[in-house]
Structure 1
Amino acid sequence: MFTLPLFPLSAHVLPQGRMALRIFEPRYIRMVKEACAAQSGFGICMLNAKGNKSLNEHIYHVGTHVKVIDFDMLNDGLLGITVEGDRCFSIQQIETEKDGLRIGQCSWLPTWQADPGTDISLVKQRLIDIFDKYPEIQDMYPAPHFEDPIWVIYRWLELLPVSAEQKQQFIQQRDYVKTVDFLTQLVK
């Protein structure tokens, strides 16, 4: 069990995924400063629109530990950072600090292992097509790992326009076979 500052968002990033963020709230500026100083990172979690915020039920319990890999002062004076996902975790309990920063009591989730018997060729090709069509996505990944099936599935889960609840269900599975089946049907 470990503690981790939490950054709830409507979007999600998964292991080896990258995300650009604009940081402006004092609690999150503090979180980023402390994470960079300690080289420890923080957790990105998806928002649960149905959850009670005062009870910290507005944060889904599966998140991704991220580290800051780049930062810059943006034209509007805000702090811009780029984070990269490291590993998924599960939140057992959330406490709120005086400034509103949420701190989770967390444990690591098992990582998915590649299954050579699972055919992801169609899903992989459609992801390559998306990268070709959208340079802003391609720019985030100067060296994409299209040959790594887990990397491909994680990128799809980040991009999919499905509910946060459904993404949480996919992420919590023991392996990615059902996710591949869903994606294959989706991209046919």
Structure 2
Amino acid sequence: MSVSTTVPLPLFPLHTVLLPGAPLGLRVFEPRYLDLVSECGRDGGSFGVCLILKGDETGAPATPAAFGVEAVIEDFGSDRCGLLTLRVRGGRRFRVADARARDNGLLVGSVHWCDAQADAGAVAARLRPEHAVMGTLLGELLEQVGGEYARSNLRRLEEADWVGWRLAELLPLGDAQRLALLQEDDPHRRLEHLLLWMDE
């Protein structure tokens, strides 16, 4: 994990795990999160999604997991009830050093980015021979489910990071398993975790 100074990041704790590269739909109605979306729109910023370890998505600030993923807003609209809807996509992983609640109840974390090498444009790690079956499995899954990934460059099926995150997104894993993957920096070890879980 890279050692860096912390940066402030507003947090949106949820009973789900956002994964890097994965889409997520949100309905926003609490004032603290409406304020958050306004800030992001005004400043061009993003926010962090963390799994809730204790508490609820509404009401008093929940206790978030120490690891989360940046949520980048791709689109917004409203539902039939007039509530704000967002489509976000997972960006960089982060680790929360500490968090505090604003007066409106919004949690703001001091976070370390985990993916500094990816940000610097490092070459994506290739699948190792022992994980080639994972790329094949993902290719078969994408053919079945279709959707946005069906149009992805087939070369991505050779990237350890991308294969791992897409399998983590598509396979029936629990939140605790996805959170464990978020805490793992090595893409090859993430694939090892997935192989073990698939064998169980």
Q: TM-score range by the shorter chain?
A: 0.7 to 0.9
What is the RMSD computed on CA atoms of the aligned residues? 3.0
- Residues 13-32 of structure 1 aligned to structure 2 (within 5 Å): 13-32=18-37
Tell me how many residue pairs correspond in the alignment: 185
Structure 1, unaligned runs of 5 or more:
none
Q: Structure 1, residues 52-90: CA drift from partner, whole Å, max 9, x if none? A: xxx977210111112101111122211111111221111
1: CA distance between counterparts of 2:19 and 2:164?
Answer: 10
2: CA distance between counterparts of 1:25 and 1:72?
Answer: 16
Matched, 1:107 2:118: no
Identity value in percent? 26
Matched, 1:70 2:81: no
Q: Structure 1, residues 149-172: CA drift from partner, whole Å, max 9, x if none? A: 311211222344444343333222
Instruction: Kindly state the Cα deviation for residue 12 of structure 1 after the two structures are TM-superposed.
Output: 1.7
- Residues 31-42 of structure 1 aligned to structure 2 (within 5 Å): 31-42=36-47
2: CA distance between counterparts of 1:3 and 1:141?
Answer: 36
**Distance verdict in 2 for CA 1:77–1:177, change over 3 Å:** same
Matched, 1:153 2:171: no
Q: Which moved more, 1:28-37 or 1:173-182?
A: 173-182
**Distance verdict in 2 for CA 1:162–1:49, change over 3 Å:** farther
Structure 2, unaligned runs of 5 or more:
1-5, 119-123
Matched, 1:127 2:138: yes
Q: What's the TM-score once normalised by structure 2's chain length? A: 0.77
Q: List, as ranges, runs of 4+ consecutive aligned residues in structure 1 with deviation greater than 6 Å.
A: none
Q: Show the counterpart of 1:168.
A: 179
Q: Structure 1, residues 122-177: CA drift from partner, whole Å, max 9, x if none? A: 22333344334445xx2477546434331121122234444434333322223122
Q: Show the counterpart of 2:193.
A: 182
Q: Which residue among 86, 93, 97 is the counterpart of 2:91?
A: 86
